[in-house]
Amino acid sequence: MSSWDFDHYLETLGFEAGPYCRPTDPRGTTETSQGVTREVARETLLVLSPRLNPETRELCSKMLQAMKLPSPALAHLEVDHATLKDLGEEFRRSTRVCLLMGFDLAATVLGVEASPALRGRPHFHPTWPTVEFWTTHAPSELVVDASLKRPAWDDIQDVLRRFSEHRNLAT
């Protein structure tokens, strides 16, 4: 993703100062569109998606906006296999709930077989023992089959409820 694409992506989301990481930046700190490095928020809902094309990125942006979370509480990363391995320790410490967008991505992260049966319940990974991983459809699937948007939105609502519970426990 070019610098212009990333800045445009942030502007579309309306979170210029938020902790949205550049897809090629696996570090625990983030670079905003103004070039200022910030630490990841203390309690962050981490959303991981596969690399997105412009059409699916637009849909994903709308989904993230619909969550209505303040920008410090939401971090979205477009990842590939290499980026996944290098996610920073700050994300591991600050994340209690992670939404995996796509069953192939979930299979890679969790080390299981890709299946829609991964939806609807939390999963755990031994290297991130304090993080609940939730799975929903990939944005590319939603573009192809609009009937999956309702189940994906239901998954997002479950994740938001769980994230809210974690934030309430932390205070």
More confident residue, 37 or 114: 114
Note the pLDDT tens digit of each residue in 46-55: 999 999 999 9
Q: Show the domain range for 148.
A: 3-170
2 has a pLDDT exceeding 70: no
What is the rounded distance in angstroms from the CA atom of residue 5 to the CA atom of residue 75?
17
Note the pLDDT tens digit of each residue in 125-153: 888 888 999 999 999 999 999 999 999 99
Predicted confidence band of residue 14 (pLDDT cuts 50, 70, 90): very low
Domains of the chain: total = 1
Question: Residues near 112 by Cβ (< 8 Å), separated by ≥ 6?
Answer: 106, 118, 123
Q: Residue 151 in 3-state DSSP?
A: helix
Contact criterion met (CB below 8 Å) for 22 and 51: no
Contact criterion met (CB below 8 Å) for 47 and 64: yes
Residue 130: predicted pLDDT: 85
For residue 128, the domain's CATH number is 3.40.470.10
Long-range contacts of 143-150, Cβ-Cβ distance < 8 Å, separation of 24 or more: 143/55, 143/56, 143/59
